[in-house]
Structure 1
Amino acid sequence: MKFTRISALVASAAIAPAVLLASPAYAADAKAPAVSAPDAGAKTPDGQAGADKAEILRLMAAKGAGAGIKEEGAKAIAGGPSAMRKFLEVDQFAVRDTDNKVEISRIIGTADKVGRGVREAGKKALKGTPQDRAKFLEVGQFKARLDDDRVRVLRIMDAGGRSVKDAGGKALDANTPEAIKEFLEVGQFKARIIDNQLLTTQIASKGGPAVKAAARKALNGTPEDVQAFLDKGQYEARKKDEADAAAAKGKDKGKDDEVKPKPDASKEADQGAGAATGKGGTPVTAAAKNDPAPASGGTSLASTGAGSALPWAAGGTAVALAGGAGILVATRRRRAGE
């Protein structure tokens, strides 16, 4: 019995240290709380503010961003996390619409660059909703501009020559913004150069020496020289040709006057003496001298001193006088016989 008790005591003594040493570790494991891995998708306040700032900076740097977005975005960033969150959720939309209004007004105000279609579509968008204004800037203005450009092409074709008409027709047939833009910015000018050269050649073929010389000089120069000839040079050259032709005509007339023979003075004196005595030596009365020549003679005695009808008139007068004297003598003899 004693041996049994001693064995139990020895076994207890051997086990006791192990039990005592293991108990604190167990107690510590039992009391330690469970720790899980952090949630990767969750954002801390600092992380959210950083993301908001990055988004605002992206909006400010975007193509077409207006002055309002840039100014208000900078203010939101300076205002801190709450200001940035409010800008992204609310303020940016009102600011962007204000910028859109300013941009639409600028577009329709450039009358020299846009047509009637763009102006009308822009005015309609200004009176509409924010969505209407955004749509005009993103899509509507380009459709309206294409329609306006088609009208411009037709007008240019109507005023241009054959080459311009052909080039404009090809652009309209392609019916793409790129083709029409190429014609308006490049193609029409190339085609006009060809038409101007052809027109200059035609004018030169029908013009005088000065016109031909001016046209030749223009064709040997630049397209601007050809255009200047058509706008002004051809008219100046034509005036010079007309002046030269008039001067040459006057010079030729002066030569003809010099070559024309002058009247023979001795012959005129003989005609004057014959007119004074009459045909057959018959004297001419004072009345006959002062009377002008008959209309059929065509020359006045006062201006020439003698006329082609004067000898016949003097002879006729003498005959009439002789006949009258004979009749008078015969009448007197008849009365004496009775």
Structure 2
Amino acid sequence: MSAVVAAAVLAPAVLFPSTASASDAPKPIGLSGPDTGSDSAKDTAPEDGTPGAGSGQEQRDRAEVQRILADPASGFGVREAAEKALKGGAAELRHFLEVELAEQRQIDDQVKVSQIYAVGGPAVQKAARAALRGTHQDILDFLKTGQYVARAEDEDRAKVEALLADPKTGRGVREGAEKALKGGAAELRHFLTAELPRLRADDNRVKLSQLMSQGGTAVREAAGKALDAGTDEAVEAFLNEGFAKAQFEDDRVEVLRIIADKETGPATAAAAQKAMDGNAEAVRRFLTVELPVLRESDNRVKVSQIIETGGPAVKKAALAAFEGSYADILAFLKDGWAKARAEDEAATTKPGNGAGTGMGTGTGTGNGTGTGTDGSGQQPQTVQPAGLTQTTTGGGTTGTGGTTGTTTGTRTGTGTTGSTGSGTLAATGSDGLGWEAGGAAAALAAGAAMVVAARRRSTKS
């Protein structure tokens, strides 16, 4: 440790050579010259050479050295030299007070400046370097006043830099701060005390106007009241407290709207209801963080339901969207779904020729059966009793059944012109289908197909 201390003491003297001398340093307080009184016997050391009680001057010197040693302002070098002097006699004490004290004080002061330099800001370091390169008086001036002036400049600079680092700082304050940093202590102080309040008030009004234009009903009303008040304090109060309260009200209204929207998916609706039971932070998090993710999940589920219930064109378009990006999902739900449904509807519509015949035999009471061929294919028909009309399912025409009587005969009927259409229209998607009905629609379509197949088998038999 002695080596480290010695290096710290000697480094400033080597790095920053001073032209000061011992004569530049002030004399220690209480230091007096040799006692030239007539009591010569008291000023003479014992003949054996050992320190004795000493003279009055020696006692005064010893007391002065002890006082210097007890002073908390004394540096390491002064203390070390003082302790060494106290172990000696009158000559050592006198040499310390007249020669070593000034030298050690200069070294200690240089060490203090070096220590301040090591932890100081830009202004402090600049002033410390100038002092170390100057005289001992320059060092004393730095320790007494210069370091505090430089420290104030560094503190002002730090405040201005903090304003620039704050993302909430407005444009006007930011421009003023950048300009102040290019100057010195006077420019920094002027900016903080004179320019900053005015620039901040202007920025606050700009920010209020932006929030007012983007906010909901509650935000606009609260912002309008702050502007009507006409004071900087009212505007600042709105930004610090009023805006958060008003935004919470608007956020809750928005969440309720999402819950009530029939297009809202189940996952989104559940999370929205949970957010309504929370605080302002929970509601804002739902709207800004959770909602986009939940909507994407629900939309993907919706497309998967459409794939299950849609026609050929709808299935193809829905699969392509599902395997693509979320942007493809949104594009399909917005436009692609409707276009694919139109394609399926066009593909399942066929024209009939309106011609049909019916063959039947009647016996006994005249009940007869017959087979008919419609205008679009070989779809079997059942002829009802005489006088009744049977409509084909394939766009064909109607035919009349056999006559009443006991004889057997045939009767051919010619139908009227049929309308367009053939067979059962293919499914084209769950247009207007609710989120919870997607599976039910698929089951219903399957059931209808089974009924048709059963009827066909019965007719053939």
TM-score computed with the length of structure 2 as normaliser = 0.40
1:153 to 246, 255, 276: 255
Q: What residue in structure 2 maps to residue 122 of structure 1?
A: 223
Shift of 1:168: 0.9
Within the alignment, does 1:132 sit opposite 2:234 as a pair? yes
Gap change, CA 1:258 and 1:49, over 3 Å in 2: closer
2:286 to 183, 194, 211: 183
Does the 8 A contact of 1:60 with 1:70 survive in 2?
no
Q: Distance in 1 between matches of 2:304 and 2:175?
A: 62
Shift of 1:238: 2.3
Q: What residue in structure 1 maps to residue 332 of structure 2?
A: 229
Point out where structure 2 has 5 or more consecutive residues left out of the alignment.
1-36, 45-54, 74-142, 357-372, 378-461
Q: Distance in 2 between matches of 1:105 and 1:48?
A: 42
Q: Distance in 2 between matches of 1:215 and 1:44?
A: 81
Amino acid at match of 2:204: N
Gap change, CA 1:119 and 1:105, over 3 Å in 2: same
2:206 to 92, 96, 102: 102
Does the 8 A contact of 1:60 with 1:69 survive in 2?
no
2:152 to 52, 66, 76: 52
Gap change, CA 1:102 and 1:202, over 3 Å in 2: closer
Amino acid at match of 1:129: T
Percent of aligned pairs with the same residue?
A: 34
Shift of 1:169: 0.7
Query: Please, what is the CA RMSD of the aligned residues?
Result: 4.6
Q: Distance in 1 between matches of 2:319 and 2:198?
A: 65
Gap change, CA 1:51 and 1:132, over 3 Å in 2: farther
Q: Distance in 2 between matches of 1:144 and 1:210?
A: 48
Query: Cα deviations across residues 90-130 of structure 1 (Å, max 9, x unaligned)?
Result: 55433432333333334445x2xx33333433343344433
| Correspondence list, 1:200-279, <5 A | 200=303, 203=306, 207-247=310-350, 249-250=351-352, 256=374
Query: Cα deviations across residues 12-36 of structure 1 (Å, max 9, x unaligned)?
Result: xxx967189799969x99xx9x999
Does the 8 A contact of 2:353 with 2:376 survive in 1?
no
Amino acid at match of 1:120: E
| Correspondence list, 1:193-204, <5 A | 193-200=296-303, 203=306
Point out where structure 1 has 5 or more consecutive residues left out of the alignment.
1-14, 260-338
Does the 8 A contact of 2:218 with 2:249 survive in 1?
yes
Q: Distance in 2 between matches of 1:77 and 1:194?
A: 50
Gap change, CA 1:131 and 1:18, over 3 Å in 2: same
Q: What residue in structure 2 maps to residue 326 of structure 1?
A: none
> Match of 1:174, SS?
coil
The structure whose RCO (Cα within 8 Å, separation 6+) is larger is 2
Amino acid at match of 2:219: V
| Correspondence list, 1:17-96, <5 A | 18=40, 45-62=145-162, 63=166, 64-69=168-173, 72=176, 88-89=192-193, 91-96=195-200
Gap change, CA 1:201 and 1:140, over 3 Å in 2: same
| Correspondence list, 1:299-314, <5 A | none
TM-score computed with the length of structure 1 as normaliser = 0.51
The answer to which structure has the higher helix fraction is 1
Report how many aligned residue pairs link the two structures: 234
Amino acid at match of 1:168: A
Q: Distance in 2 between matches of 1:83 and 1:231?
A: 59
Query: Cα deviations across residues 224-281 of structure 1 (Å, max 9, x unaligned)?
Result: 444333322232222222222323x34797995699xxxxxxxxxxxxxxxxxxxxxx
Q: Which moved more, 1:16-25 or 1:155-164?
A: 16-25
1:165 to 258, 262, 269: 269
Shift of 1:172: 1.4
Does the 8 A contact of 2:160 with 2:181 survive in 1?
no
Q: Distance in 2 between matches of 1:214 and 1:162?
A: 24
Amino acid at match of 1:166: A
Does the 8 A contact of 2:172 with 2:203 survive in 1?
yes
